[in-house]
Each structure stands twice: as structure tokens, then as C-alpha cells.
């Protein structure tokens, strides 16, 4: 018999709604898995002490004959930079170690309204700055496929939790790749919606012109359903666009026949690990056999994505993180000489090294003498990157390629060299700069000596065409070579 943790969210919600399973039993099952496996993986930073009450409320709602919502009783984990009322939002930082959120983020409110149960909060690189989850103040998360390797980042806890089936769904945030890259490294699906598709209210700001919230799931159907729940305009976030949300589940069976799939030559070039390239090429060949038309496209400014991203993201971060001064909330250094000393020491001891590095880089890029040379120039190249995508979409319906240039790396392998760590975002950051939606979907494995390492296929669509991404992911997961498996814990 299929075990509870082997079921996807859509199936679980259905079984709960029809009373074949209770929301409480489902929650218990996942909590037991967390208890057994999370001491080793370190996906969770805290559990929701109201999760039992939330599950019970769903069961009573069903017993009373009311509509429990399309995610009835589905346990969802939330990245710890997204607010859940009454729970801590640490952002993986000592600075916010004891900060308790006074309200729900809009995405959390929407999940609850759809019947989801918030199971707990997940680990991340401090303030979402990183690609490996090693920058968390609360220890790294490990990759369930190979515990000596990192799960990717910054949403590593959310990705690893879904991969290890400690919960069926989780939320992450993606500023330069933080949903897609860990999804790829953990062998799950991860969606970065169009900038403006999902409200950022209650997401702790990193790079405000880049940040988006999105889900991790184990199936395309789940990804479509959860994105549909999250998407839409919001009175509390003026950047959440007033664009109608289509029924993402309706187009999942359309298949690949006649679809024009663009492959950017820059995404399959040198610098991309050969084993990754081979796996992705196999996926492309299979999609061609399934009726898709493969066209070569070019994104010539991709080569500038890393420098442009690290100027824009650090500039916005240096300004966003100015609010952590030890006055209103968060860590305050005691026994200081005066208020300046208090500001400085609170920041000195509250932030980790990578966060400080970003604040310094960003402050430098925005300083009066260098603004034109760095920030302004980066914004101009950002426009060129967006135009590349617009051009490419003249000739294709979706774009595919690898999500990350390498398989998941070993813990500690890149911590001493921030620049190599930054290169992990080379294929993802350009989408944030251009505002495009993208997803990473599992594309098989690389056989390693002691373990199998997942590879992710990145699927990119034109703005607000997430429906295309789900259609491709749904068809892709049916391809014969891609039988899904779960890691052995």
C-alpha cells in the first residue's frame, strides 16, 4: 500500500476531503518522519505548535460538510524568511533569532484559506544570501540524496524537506535562483513565478526588485495547484500585479505536440558540467520524440548575469538591511557606550560574514563616486538581458536548459571562495533580472561513486505564462526515462 509520505499533495487533499484519511493522521505521519530523520538533515528550524489545532479544524470542517479548500489538510513547510503569525522568523540569522512575526504573510494566509496546515519553518542561508544553506546561523542542511553534500540554497531546508518527504509541499523564495537551484540539487520541483505574480507581503526583503515566493513539490500537478493558490494581486503589496490567475491545473494534459522549445546555446556551452549537459540533452531529445519542436535560441547577455545580479542584489540588500539597527526589534547589543556604538555592535555580532560582505559590496556600488560605474551600468545591462528573453520568445513558446551548472557539491567545498559559490547562480539569476517565470523539474540522475545526484531541467516561459511551464513539467515527468524515486534515508 502506498504510504502517506509517498502521496502527492493533490492525492492527499482528496483522501482527506473524502475522509479516507484524517488531516490529523496525515500531520502525525509527517511529524514522525521529521522526528526520525531531521536530526541528521536539519531541514526544520521550528515546528508550528498550532499545527495540531489547524489539522483538527480541517477535520471538523469536513465533518460539518463545509468546503475545506483545495489543499485540505496538506502539511506545508515555510522558509524561515516568510512570516507566520506567532512563530519566529529567524531568516537563519542570529539577528532575528527571537523575532516573532506579528502577522501572516499573504502567501501563508492564502495557504491557510485553501486548507493547508503549516507544519513548521525551514532552514536557509542567512537572509537568503547563499547557494548552499551553509550560511545559516543554525547549521547547514544536508542533501537527502547524499548527506555529505549540500542541498543547494538559499531555500535548502524547504527543498530537502520535500525531497526527504518530511512534508509534501514547502515554500521558498527566489532572488537569484534560491528556489530553482535547491530544487535541482534535491530532485524536486521548484517554481519561481513571474515577478509580480505572487505577493511579497510578509517575505523579509532581500532584493526587492528580484524576490519572489514559490513552492517546492514532488509533482507538476501539485506545483500548478499550489502556485494557483499563492498567485494574485494583494492590497498590501503594490508590486503584486492585477493580472487574472488562470486555472493552472486545466492545461496540464496538453502535452508537447507542436510546442516550440527553445534551447539557448549559452546554457549548454562550456562551463556547464558535462554530466549535467548530457542529462539535459537526453531530456531534450525525449521531448522532441514526444512531438516538441526544438529550436536554438540565444541569450547573449547571459554572461553578464552574475556581475549584474551581484551588483543589483547587494545594492538592494544593503538598503533593505539598514533597518536592522537593534532599536525596533531583533538583536540589541547590551553594555554599549552610546547609540552609535549600539548600532555598530548589534550589526557586528548579529550578522554573519556573508551578510556583511553583501552589505559592504552594495554600499560601495551605491556610493556617490561609484553609482554610475556600477549600479547604473548594471541596470542598463539588466535591460539588455530582458530584451534577450523577449527576442528569444519570438521564436519559441518555452525555453529549457539546465538549472545549475554542476551537480550538488560537497559540504565545505566552496565556503572559502565566495566567487565560485556565486557561479552556482549563473543559469538562474538572469530570470530574476528579467522578471521571467521559471521552474526546475527533475531530469534524472548522475551516477556518482557512492550516491545518485539529481539533475534539474529549468523551464522558462514568457511573463505570466506559468501555465506553459506546468504543461511542460507535466509532460516531462511522464517521459519513460524519468521514473521518479525518493532518496533512501
Chain residues in the site for ligand GLN (CB under 6 A): 128-131, 154, 173-178, 206, 313, 425
- Asked if 207 contacts 312 with a C-beta cutoff of 8 angstroms, the reply is yes
Q: What minimum distance in Å lies between the beta carbon of 27 and ligand GLN? A: 29
Residue nearest to ligand GLN (CB): 178
For residue 319, what is the enclosing H or E element?
Answer: helix 305-320
Active-site residue, 79 included:
yes
Residue whose C-alpha is closest to residue 129's, from 205, 195, 206: 206
Is the Cα torsion angle 110, 211, 84, 323 positive or negative in sign? negative
Buried b (16+ CB within 10 A) or exposed e, 125-164: bbbbbbbbbbbbbbebbbbbbbeebbbbbbbbbbbbbbbb
Residue whose C-alpha is closest to residue 351's, from 152, 92, 155, 88: 92
What is the spatial distance between Cα 363 and Cα 356, in angstroms, rounded to a whole number?
A: 10
Nearer to ligand GLN, 9 or 436 (CB): 436
Q: What minimum distance in Å lies between the beta carbon of 63 and ligand GLN? A: 41
Nearer to ligand GLN, 174 or 222 (CB): 174
Residue whose C-alpha is closest to residue 415's, from 352, 369, 345: 352
Q: What minimum distance in Å lies between the beta carbon of 380 and ligand GLN? A: 21
Task: Tell me which of 22, 93, 136, 154 is the catalytic residue.
Answer: 154
Nearer to ligand GLN, 154 or 403 (CB): 154
Angle at 356 between CA 236 and CA 335, to 5 degrees: 95
Other C-beta atoms closer than 10 Å to the C-beta of 79 total: 31
Nearer to ligand GLN, 190 or 442 (CB): 190
Distances, alpha carbon 451 to alpha carbons 134, 156, 405, in Å: 21, 19, 19
Q: What minimum distance in Å lies between the beta carbon of 334 and ligand GLN? A: 31
- Asked if 77 contacts 120 with a C-beta cutoff of 8 angstroms, the reply is yes
Active-site residue, 275 included:
no
Q: What minimum distance in Å lies between the beta carbon of 305 and ligand GLN? A: 11
Nearer to ligand GLN, 51 or 178 (CB): 178
Task: Tell me which of 22, 136, 170, 178 is the catalytic residue.
Answer: 178
HSE at residue 428, side-chain half, CA atoms within 13 A, is 35
Expressed in angstroms, the distance from the first to the final Cα of the chain is: 19
Nearer to ligand GLN, 7 or 161 (CB): 161
Nearer to ligand GLN, 48 or 403 (CB): 403
What is the spatial distance between Cα 360 and Cα 355, in angstroms, rounded to a whole number?
A: 9
**Helix-, strand-, coil-residue percentages of the chain, each rounded to 5:** 40, 15, 45
Q: What minimum distance in Å lies between the beta carbon of 353 and ligand GLN? A: 13
Task: Tell me which of 79, 112, 192, 414 is the catalytic residue.
Answer: 79
Q: What minimum distance in Å lies between the beta carbon of 181 and ligand GLN? A: 7
Residue whose C-alpha is closest to residue 50's, from 11, 100, 91: 100
Nearer to ligand GLN, 89 or 175 (CB): 175
Q: What minimum distance in Å lies between the beta carbon of 425 and ligand GLN? A: 5
Active-site amino acid positions: 79, 154, 178
Amino acid at each position: 500500500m502506498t504510504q502517506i509520505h509517498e502521496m502527492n499533495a493533490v492525492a492527499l487533499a482528496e483522501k482527506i476531503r473524502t475522509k479516507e484519511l484524517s488531516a490529523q493522521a496525515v500531520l502525525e505521519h509527517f511529524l514522525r518522519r521529521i522526528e526520525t530523520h531531521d536530526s541528521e538533515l536539519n531541514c526544520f528550524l521550528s515546528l508550528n505548535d498550532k499545527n495540531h489545532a489547524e489539522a483538527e479544524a480541517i477535520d471538523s470542517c469536513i465533518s460539518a460538510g463545509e468546503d475545506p479548500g483545495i489543499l485540505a489538510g496538506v502539511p506545508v513547510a515555510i522558509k524561515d524568511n516568510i512570516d507566520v503569525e506567532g512563530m519566529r522568523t529567524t531568516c537563519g540569522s542570529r539577528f532575528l533569532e527571537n523575532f516573532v512575526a506579528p502577522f501572516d504573510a499573504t502567501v501563508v494566509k492564502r495557504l491557510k484559506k485553501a486548507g493547508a496546515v503549516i507544519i513548521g519553518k525551514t532552514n536557509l542561508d542567512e537572509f537568503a544570501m547563499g547557494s548552499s544553506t551553509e550560511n545559516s546561523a543554525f547549521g547547514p542542511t544536508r542533501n537527502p540524496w547524499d548527506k555529505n553534500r549540500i542541498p543547494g540554497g538559499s531555500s535548502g531546508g524547504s527543498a530537502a524537506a520535500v525531497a526527504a518527504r518530511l512534508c509534501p509541499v514547502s515554500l521558498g523564495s527566489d532572488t537569484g535562483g534560491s528556489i530553482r537551484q535547491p530544487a535541482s540539487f534535491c530532485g524536486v520541483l521548484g517554481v519561481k513565478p513571474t515577478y509580480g505574480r505572487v505577493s511579497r507581503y510578509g517575505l523579509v526583503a532581500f532584493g526587492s526588485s528580484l524576490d519572489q515566493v514559490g513552492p517546492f513539490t514532488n509533482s507538476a500537478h501539485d506545483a500548478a495547484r499550489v502556485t494557483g493558490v499563492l498567485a494574485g494581486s494583494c492590497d498590501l503589496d503594490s508590486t503584486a500585479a492585477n493580472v487574472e490567475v488562470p486555472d493552472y491545473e486545466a492545461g496540464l494534459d496538453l502535452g508537447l505536440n507542436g510546442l516550440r522549445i527553445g534551447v539557448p546555446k549559452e546554457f549548454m556551452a562550456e562551463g556547464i558540467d558535462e554530466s549535467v549537459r548530457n542529462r539535459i540533452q537526453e531530456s531534450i531529445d525525449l521531448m522532441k520524440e514526444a512531438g516538441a519542436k526544438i529550436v536554438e535560441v540565444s541569450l547573449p547577455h547571459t554572461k553578464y548575469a552574475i556581475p549584474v545580479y551581484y551588483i543589483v542584489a547587494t545594492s538592494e540588500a544593503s538598503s533593505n538591511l539598514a533597518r536592522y539597527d537593534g532599536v525596533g526589534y531583533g538583536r540589541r547589543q547590551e553594555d554599549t557606550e552610546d547609540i552609535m556604538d549600539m548600532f555598530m555592535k548589534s550589526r557586528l555580532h548579529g550578522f554573519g560574514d556573508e551578510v556583511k560582505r553583501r552589505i559592504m559590496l552594495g554600499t560601495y556600488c551605491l556610493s556617490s563616486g561609484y553609482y554610475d560605474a556600477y549600479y547604473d551600468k548594471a541596470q542598463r545591462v539588466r535591460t539588455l538581458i530582458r530584451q534577450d528573453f523577449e527576442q528569444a520568445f519570438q521564436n519559441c513558446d518555452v525555453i529549457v536548459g539546465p538549472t545549475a551548472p554542476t551537480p550538488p557539491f560537497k559540504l565545505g567545498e566552496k565556503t572559502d571562495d565566495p566567487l565560485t559559490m556565486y557561479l552556482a547562480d549563473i543559469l538562474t539569476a538572469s530570470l530574476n533580472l528579467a522578471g521571467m517565470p521559471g521552474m526546475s523539474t527533475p531530469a534524472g540522475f548522475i551516477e556518482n561513486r557512492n550516491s545518485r545526484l539529481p539533475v534539474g531541467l529549468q523551464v522558462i516561459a514568457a511573463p505570466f505564462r506559468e501555465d506553459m511551464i506546468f504543461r511542460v513539467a507535466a509532460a516531462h515527468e511522464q517521459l519513460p526515462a524519468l521514473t521518479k524515486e525518493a532518496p533512501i534515508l
